[in-house]
Amino acid sequence: MADYYEVLGLARNASEDDIKKAYRKMSRKYHPDIAGPEYEDKFKEVNNAYEVLSDPQKRQMYDAGVDPNNPGAGGGPAGFDMGDIFGQFFGSGFGGGEQGPIPRTQPGRDALADVSIDLKMAVFGGTAHAQIRTFGLCQTCGGSGAQAGSQPVTCPVCQGQGFTKKVVRTLLGQMMTTAPCERCEGHGTIIENPCPDCQGHGRVRVRRDVGVTIPAGIADGSRLRLASQGEVGEGGGAAGDLYIDVHVQADKLYTRDGDDLHCWISVPMTWAVLGHSAQLETFDGQREVTVPTGCQPGDTVSLKGLGVTKMGSQERGDIHVHILVQIPTKLNEQEQGLIEQFAQSHDTQAHELAQSSKPLQGKKGIFGKLKDMFS
């Protein structure tokens, strides 16, 4: 490989201005129009040298042992360092490169856990608990990985660099490859007296009970983030985050729809006809619900502000009570007679079916009119 510094008469630590000045001087000296046609090859050599040394990236490649103008030529007796070349273009991931030793302290990964809550906690919020098993800081060594009173020592193989080099022969010539030091695993230091609890890793497997603050109004399937509650990294590195998937259990009394709650109650026919008040179980305790006079099957009564808390506010949705009317299927003679008397006085016009292709609106009787008055 040609020595471009020698061609331009430069030292290897020459600055950009030195390179420009040397090029102007040498190009005038060996220009074929001035020096003669026999210096044409020398003039090309000067231009090649300047092309490489004036470009920072090409110069770095050349200093690493490879000629950018002839990359397959090898790099002299020792070849060229493939770790440096690939590291220049693809980062330091190729064999470690010469980026220095790998730090023992590494950030921890994120963790994921699940927590199950009841509908009441989803309504009001609260604190749930999740059991997680992950890496925690080793309390014996405080994350150093070494026994008390000892410290890591410099690796005798790589002399603290964290990587080693070796020359290999290939079809392209001799190449120098770089790889993490096997003795210290790229750290540059060796823990001769590792902590007996973490075996030099600075962290141990732990089981933790994590308190999770559940915001009021949270929806089923929501994911919460707990900063720095995840896995502690190697060497006692900073913990990652913990993500909690929240599952809301089905409730026996209520079904949720957004911020509203729905329930169904079954009432006697007499309550529907005459009206009635009763106590309803809610998440705020018992509340009075009124079945209006003349209530029809499928009617709904709403209790305002007793539903789910709206996320980010103090407002709450409603409870919607759907009414099912129980129609008696068995009557004794007295009850049968009473119903027949009622039919004779109330259903005298009910001789033919009312049929329509659309939902029917029944004629409003006294109960319906009273219901409208009090609505």
Neighbours of 274 (CB within 10 A): 13
Q: Is 198 annotated as a binding residue?
A: yes
Q: Is 141 annotated as a binding residue?
A: yes
Distances (CA, A) of 347 to 268, 327, 344: 20, 17, 6
Question: CB–CB of 156/183 below 8 Å?
Answer: yes
Nearest in space to 117 (alpha carbons), one of 27, 20, 216, 262 = 216
Distances (CA, A) of 262 to 259, 308, 310, 359: 10, 11, 16, 24
Cα 238 to Cα 99: distance, rounded to the nearest angstrom: 22
Q: How many CA atoms lie within 13 A of 115 on its CB side?
A: 29
Cα 238 to Cα 230: distance, rounded to the nearest angstrom: 9
Helix (H, G, I), strand (E, B) or coil at 72: helix
Question: Could you give the angle at the alpha carbon of 351 between the alpha carbons of 348 and 353, nearest 5°?
Answer: 130
Neighbours of 39 (CB within 10 A): 17
Q: Is 295 annotated as a binding residue?
A: no
Cα 230 to Cα 109: distance, rounded to the nearest angstrom: 7
Q: At what angle do helices 82-90 and 56-64 cross, to 10 degrees?
A: 160
In 255-363, beta strands by DSSP E: 255-257, 260-268, 276-282, 285-291, 300-303, 319-326
For residue 328, give both structure tokens: 């008696």
| Chain position carrying tokens 């008469």 | 9
Nearest in space to 225 (alpha carbons), one of 208, 245, 207 = 245
Q: Is 155 annotated as a binding residue?
A: yes
Q: Is 158 annotated as a binding residue?
A: yes
Annotated binding site for Zn(2+): 138, 141, 155, 158, 181, 184, 195, 198
Q: Cite the annotated binding site by residue number.
A: 138, 141, 155, 158, 181, 184, 195, 198
